[in-house]
Structure 1
Amino acid sequence: MKTRHLFKLVGTATLALLLAGCGSSKSDDKTITVAASPTPHAQILKVAGEELKKDGYTLKVKEFTDYVQPNIVVDEGKYDANYFQHTPYLDNFNKEKNTKLVSVGKIHYEPFGIYAGTKKSLNDLKDGDEIAVPNDATNEARALLLLADNGVITLKDNKDIKATVKDITSNPKNLKFKELEAAQVSRARPDVALVVLNGNYALDAGLDVKKDAIAFEKSDSTAASTYANIIAVKKGNEKTAKTKALVKALKSAKVQKYINDTFKGAVVPYTE
Structure 2
Amino acid sequence: MKKLLATAALLAASLTAHAAETLSVAATPVPHAEILEFVKPQLAKEGVDLQIKVFTDYVQPNLQVAQKRLDANFFQHQPYLDEFNKSRGTDLVTVAQVHVEPFGIYSQKIKKLDEVREGAVVAIPSDATNGGRALLLLEKAGLITLKDSANILATPKDIAENPKKLKFKELEAATLPRVLNQVDLALINTNYALEAKLNPTQDALLLEGKESPYANILVARPDNKDSDAVQKLAKALNTPAVKQFIEEKYKGAVVPAF
Taking structure 2 as the reference length, the TM-score comes to 0.91
Q: Are the equivalent residues in 2 in contact too, given 1:118–1:189 (CA < 8 A)?
A: no
Aligned AA (1:146)? L
Taking the aligned partners of 1:187 and 1:203, their CA distance within structure 2 comes to 13
Larger Rg: 1
Match of 2:238 in 1: 251
Contact kept in structure 2, 1:149 and 1:158, CA below 8 Å: no
What secondary structure, in the 3-state scheme, does the structure 2 residue paired with 1:189 have? helix
CA distance in 2, matches of 1:96, 1:236: 21
Question: What's the Cα RMSD here?
Answer: 1.8
Between the aligned partners of 1:235 and 1:211, the Cα distance in structure 2 is 40
Tell me, in whole angstroms, the C-alpha distance in 2 between the residues paired with 1:76 and 1:246.
20
Closer/same/farther in 2, CA of residues 174 and 73 from structure 1, 3 Å limit: same
Query: Where does the alignment leave 5 or more consecutive residues of structure 2 unmatched?
Result: 1-11
Q: How many residues in Structure 1 have an aligned counterpart in Structure 2?
A: 247
Tell me, in whole angstroms, the C-alpha distance in 1 between the residues paired with 2:62 and 2:202: 32
1:268 to 231, 252, 255: 255
Give every structure 1 segment of 4 or more consecutive aligned residues whose post-TM-superposition deviation is greater than 3 Å: 22-29
Alignment correspondent of 1:236: 223
Q: Is the 8 A contact 1:117 1:195 kept in 2?
A: no
The aligned amino acid for 1:266 is A
Distance 1:77 1:152, change over 3 A: same
Query: Which stretch of structure 1 is more off in the superposition, 76-85 or 116-125?
Result: 116-125
Q: Encode CA deviations 1:70-106: one digit per residue, 9 max, x unaligned.
A: 0011001111100000011011111111112011111
Kept after mapping to 1: 8 A contact 2:29/2:55: yes
| AA in 2 matched with 1:121 | K
- Cα deviation for residue 34 of structure 1 reads 0.2
Residue of 56, 59, 63 corresponding to 2:54: 63
Q: Distance in 1 between matches of 2:134 and 2:15?
A: 46
Unaligned runs of 5+ in 1: 1-19
The separation in 1 between residues aligned to 2:23 and 2:67, in whole angstroms, is 15
Q: Secondary structure at the match of 2:182?
A: coil
Distance between the aligned counterparts of 1:42 and 1:56, measured in 2? Answer: 20
**Who is 2:3 aligned against?**
none
Using the alignment, how far apart are the partners of 1:167 and 1:158 within structure 2?
10
Percent of residue pairs identical: 48
**Residue 80 and residue 28 in structure 1: after superposition, are their counterparts in 2 closer, same or farther (change >3 A)?**
farther
Letter of the aligned partner of 2:217 in structure 1? I
Matched residues in 2 for 1:238 and 1:201: separation? 27
1:68 CA displacement: 0.5
TM-score (norm 1): 0.87
Distance 1:98 1:23, change over 3 A: farther
Q: Tell me which amino acid in the other structure corresponds to 2:230.
A: T
Contact 1:154/1:171 (<8 A) preserved: yes
The AA in structure 1 aligned to 2:156 is V
Aligned partner of 2:196 among 191, 205, 229:
205
**What is the SS of the residue equivalent to 2:181?**
coil
How much has 1:237 moved relative to structure 2? 1.8
